[in-house]
Structure 1
């Protein structure tokens, strides 16, 4: 490390005696830019050789000479975490109605610019453990959503918002303010929910403000791994981890889910594990503690002068080791 300015940049020099071989370049400068739009502006200004951008921002470089857009397949999903202790979202009928009301395909087309696919659970379609029976309609089903709310006693008031026992079908949906993609997803969910009489108030916040409210307010979250389902789902949906930070922040508890996850963890037999994770996915669909929205393609913009970039399937947590930068030591600039 040559220098590090917290929140600004990290300057690294090549280790020419590295056991794996001398790097192909002399060093790397990593800039820390949290805001998506600022990152795009600085990329367009020529400050960076490569940057990760939200899909719609990256698409702006498709027709711009001197750049190429890398759309990388992932197991990274976005969804709405629904806290069980919220007085509205604690109602299973509301959670199921939200799952029926959202138009996932429209989100893929409009918000992601086509860089993704609809999501119906935490196990990616590419996984051998994916359960096909949990896949629903990519488009919205407002008639089914309305029927679910009607059956549960949620009646439409004069203002169009449903009410039950004097309480409005209304909740706050948080998202990190600097994440333009999650903001757009929050707005899409808000619009779809309104069509069936559920009032959603989107609120962009810092993570410091979001964290203490996760037990009672909904949140646009992201997780996902292309590896074994146990890696993330055991903690994210297991009762033992309810309310523990970002693992199961909505305090979802289900004995059936716990049993299935434990069976998947404890067994080595592929058939037993496949059955366990199928049971897990079916129970999660029945309980609807999340509204799964989309799987993403991670989108990067790279200057045409950069060579050696080698994409591979990425998880949600795509830091240096798990992102486009995984082999940055082999990157070079074309003359």
Structure 2
């Protein structure tokens, strides 16, 4: 009943908006953050933090642009960042944004040990009212990602309840938040950027099916939908498919079976390079996109397809006969049941996926069918993330990643991160990759590091160790009112949060 009452209220808002000179938007583009709107705990990492400004931002082409920062430089030893701030930034209460607020934000985020990884930071210090220096304990160029994602909070107003009463210098201020139902925001009158044309924006927390129903009823002006609902476009709406690096891939435990700190590591079947190569050659990714995603996606060959740090030419053609030849040459012989064997080893393993995720279930089931003609017996197994955590270092899992930072590569393939949380779950290790990663982290800028990250793909990717079988990149599909122009959109990262809001400053209403 709560959702129905809210939908009716939103409908009234929508109707009034259509009649008003400055429209009020109603959006259903995802759920609310569990920890509230606190950037120190991860809010804004996958989109625009709305209430807070960041030091830097990315345009539609992912090129760096200033936000709070006007200049930024890295010392010759790559261990000290010096950042100068614009002088006209104000929090939504009218108080100025100073270097002390930036230093407080970074130092407090490090102590919070939340979703923002600032492990290499020693300390941030305001050296004047508009200049901050941030010291690192070693060269680490991907630290700069925090400049794009960490929203700046006011030192004087930050406290335990900040996430539910956020105050920032971003384009919007909070009007109200009914948890589990809706968030209402309005333009920040002190925002230094171009003012929003929308008098108010309401975010509905309805779920996918209810969000689509809200659009069909004229309640919402934009909704995000999964691939299975992407073709159900309401009247006076159009679909906006957005390219992403929101990938789904099959982890392939890299090492032979052994035990580390009581944890089972490795898999005798997937540790064989021939098995990994045959899987990558023998999966028809175009078919996966068509069947599992209803055509709303693209084949994936790595974790950063289309980004500057992806491996050049890191693709592999579907070749069933070639995959069979690889297995034959490696001594994997078909048994009477059609399943291949190599000595006492049987080419069989589970494919784990989180139960309740229809897309990952479909990918697991279709991948298993595609592996059957190879003589590889893969069994889809749905379970909780707790259950998956217990087996993910020894059995394949359908994982999802995708980031605007090359640190994503480090987190997946650096040997030192094997088994750390969900990073490098397959315990991949290659000294050549680690050496390139260290060179990349020591680069003079993010842009200078890109060729080094890309070169690592020659070792971990489909031309090298084939450490994963990447399957698909999802399209993020939004059903958008014909009156709402989103402008150019970014290649979006993993779908946590509201990545489409990265371009919210460019949205325009085109109807009178």
Please give the range of the TM-score, normalised by the shorter of the 2 chains: 0.7 to 0.9
Name the structure where helix makes up a greater proportion of residues. Answer: 1
Work out whether residues 75 and 313 of structure 1, in 8 Å CA contact, stay in contact via their aligned partners in 2. no
C-alpha separation in 1, matches of 2:382 and 2:508:
37
The alignment's TM-score, normalised by the length of structure 1, stands at 0.83
C-alpha separation in 1, matches of 2:453 and 2:304:
9
Deviations 1:235-274 (A, max 9, x none): 2211111111221111111111111121222123899745
Match of 1:25 in 2: 199
Instruction: Pick the structure with greater CA Rg.
Output: 2
Deviations 1:300-320 (A, max 9, x none): 12244x524335123323445
Match of 2:130 in 1: none
- In structure 2, do the counterparts of structure 1 residues 41 and 321 end up closer, same or farther at CA, with 3 Å as the change threshold? closer
Following TM superposition, by how much is the alpha carbon of 1:72 offset from its aligned partner in structure 2, in angstroms? 0.8
User: Runs of 5+ in structure 2 lacking a partner?
Assistant: 1-173, 255-265
1:291 counterpart = 2:469: yes
May I ask how many residue pairs the two structures share in their alignment?
323
Match of 1:167 in 2: 345
Q: CA RMSD in A?
A: 3.0
Match of 1:131 in 2: 311
Following TM superposition, by how much is the alpha carbon of 1:47 offset from its aligned partner in structure 2, in angstroms? 5.7
C-alpha separation in 2, matches of 1:13 and 1:271:
35
C-alpha separation in 1, matches of 2:214 and 2:392:
33
1:327 counterpart = 2:501: no
Which is worse superposed, 212-221 or 98-107?
A: 212-221
Match of 2:417 in 1: 241
User: Runs of 5+ in structure 1 lacking a partner?
Assistant: none
C-alpha separation in 2, matches of 1:13 and 1:270:
34
Match of 1:90 in 2: 271
| Match 2:251 to one of 81, 93, 104 | 81
Deviations 1:178-213 (A, max 9, x none): 332222222221111111011111123333332332
Deviations 1:129-164 (A, max 9, x none): 443343221xx3121211222222222111111122
- Greater RCO, 1 or 2 (C-alpha within 8 Å, sep 6+): 1
Work out whether residues 371 and 378 of structure 2, in 8 Å CA contact, stay in contact via their aligned partners in 1. yes
Following TM superposition, by how much is the alpha carbon of 1:22 offset from its aligned partner in structure 2, in angstroms? 6.1
C-alpha separation in 2, matches of 1:50 and 1:180:
23
Match of 1:3 in 2: 177
C-alpha separation in 2, matches of 1:106 and 1:319:
26
Deviations 1:273-313 (A, max 9, x none): 45533431110122112101223321112244x52433512
1:178 counterpart = 2:352: no
The alignment's TM-score, normalised by the length of structure 2, stands at 0.57
Match of 2:236 in 1: 66
1:51 counterpart = 2:223: yes
Work out whether residues 487 and 506 of structure 2, in 8 Å CA contact, stay in contact via their aligned partners in 1. no
C-alpha separation in 2, matches of 1:17 and 1:275:
42
C-alpha separation in 1, matches of 2:219 and 2:225:
14
- In structure 2, do the counterparts of structure 1 residues 329 and 141 end up closer, same or farther at CA, with 3 Å as the change threshold? closer
